[in-house]
Structure 1
């Protein structure tokens, strides 16, 4: 496994995609049109420090797999009111898109979190430690809970693929952007 080429997945509500396209950036500081995080989750991410002076909230989160724990939780109804907003609970799987890129495309300030980035026991890897962290995670049961964090923003040009749930959503997204859009229903089905 080449850690730099490891694919990473950012999930967002389709209504947030327009904001991303307008700015040309996936930005940690942008206010989402549809916010799926609860106020508590936002606060925890703001107070969790990745490195001195940088919180988790200063980063754009990506998952290491399209079957990530938090994404699966969201697909299964987002029942945890401490984590998810009312908007998350009201959303259907077809309301989301999955933006795909690689660890290398996230830039030199990327960080690997070995679990929920806002959790108190999560460890972070930066720089040369990233390759080792990804290798350890790949061979562990923590893979689906891990996050890769891009500092500040990711240029939309770095997105290689947009995964969507069905043809209707694909057509809607294609009308907004020329980026490759793929219908891949398994990414949008809750798992047991």
Structure 2
């Protein structure tokens, strides 16, 4: 009785559990002692709640009531130990790649049974299968290549009167150009330089054309460089006083179709200044065509800016397809000059041709 009295003095009268049931506490135990065993009741006290500390009914919590691991006999496969790849679709990587299949081997699209049923012997494969080499090359339409002749606007009326552009050494001159772009030393150097070696015509016997509107000689004039090839009159002229007379290789070729061999060989191509000591010439039709294609193919090279296309003796003005000018005022002046002639090519304003290469790249 004395022990029971002491116990009753230490125990509060009631406690509320999670199931909101009011029950007397066990003598000598606290609520924390009950939680330490994983449930809110102990054996022999069925009046307590069956919930575990996680709020689940007794026996349903895997943490508070873990199940014993099943005994697995050695060598017996169970459903849980099935291989991961057993039900997986076969990987596409398992089939041979078409890029690695050699000629004469099995077709990668057929099954292994077909490949083994009809083997191809090495001797048969080497005797019937030959490598195929493509002979197709990119076609370069050289005919679309533009050619450019730069002259002063004051020379345009004389060109229309004669109906042609004349070479410097031509005997057909009636009146020399009012403004000559080449200096006297440059004209002398071109008269001394021969196109095809000894006993051939000089460079001065050809009408010169640029292959690019950004030709280095023209760029020297735009940048006011002290280029000895340019005359003082050219240096003192304004940029907009010059005009571009433009044609194409196709136009020139069509005009010479049906001509004799001498006329067909009257076009030459150079890979630099025609008066330069190291400049190479393509004087024959085959070599001229080959050099022109080479210049056009090397897009990274600046050689085409130095190259020239030379037409012997004269170039008919009727082959000019375009006249490029710097501004509207010059365009109106050129149109007034062309109005007196029979051939009236299109006159266009194209300022980039009249800016230096550095300035054009910055636009």
Common topology (TM > 0.5): yes
Q: CA deviation at 1:103?
A: 2.0
Quote the residue 1:89 is aligned against. Answer: 235
Instruction: Find out whether 1:119 has 2:265 as its counterpart.
Output: no
Measured against aligned partners, the alpha-carbon deviations of 1:68-125 in whole angstroms (never above 9, x if no partner) come to: 1111111112522x21111011011111000100124344311101100110111111
Partner of 1:20: 159
1:42 Cα shift? 0.3
How many matched pairs? Answer: 191
Provide the secondary structure at the position in 1 that maps to 2:177: coil
State the alpha-carbon separation in 1 of the partners of residues 200 and 287 from structure 2.
Answer: 20
Q: Secondary structure in 2 aligned to 1:74? A: helix
Higher relative contact order (CA 8 A, sep 6+): 1
Tell me the residue number matched to 2:180. Answer: 35
Deviation at 1:136, TM superposition (A): 1.1
DSSP 3-state at the match of 2:195? strand
The reply on whether 1:2 has 2:141 as its aligned counterpart is yes
The TM-score normalised by the length of structure 2 is 0.51
Q: Is the 8 Å Cα contact of residues 56 and 118 (structure 1) preserved in structure 2?
A: yes
For the 8 Å contact 1:115–1:146, the answer to whether it is kept is yes
**Root mean square deviation of aligned Cα:** 1.3
Moved over 3 A (4+): 104-107
Q: Is the 8 A contact 1:103 1:110 kept in 2?
A: no
Classify the secondary structure of the residue corresponding to 1:34.
coil
Q: Gaps spanning 5+ residues in structure 1: where?
A: none
Matches of 1:176 and 1:99 in 2, distance apart?
Answer: 14
> What's the CA shift for 1:53?
2.8
1:102 aligns with 2:255: no
- In structure 2, the partner of 1:183 is 349
Change beyond 3 A, Cα 1:99–1:144: same
Q: Which runs of 5+ in 2 are unaligned?
A: 1-139, 257-263, 339-343, 359-363
TM-score by length of 1: 0.94
Deviation at 1:5, TM superposition (A): 2.7
Structure 1 window deviating more from structure 2 (133-142 vs 108-117): it is 133-142
Tell me if structure 2 keeps the 8 A contact 1:10–1:99: yes
- Quote how far apart the aligned CAs of 1:3 are: 1.6
Secondary structure in 2 aligned to 1:50?
Answer: coil
Q: CA deviation at 1:23?
A: 0.3
Rounded Cα–Cα distance in structure 2 between residues aligned with 1:35 and 1:159: 20
Is 1:156 aligned to 2:303, yes or no? no
> Max radius of gyration: which structure?
2
- Structure 2 residue 277 is matched with structure 1 residue 130: no
Q: Secondary structure at the match of 2:143?
A: helix
SS in 1 for 2:208: strand
Pick one of 216, 224, 231 that aligns with 1:69: 216
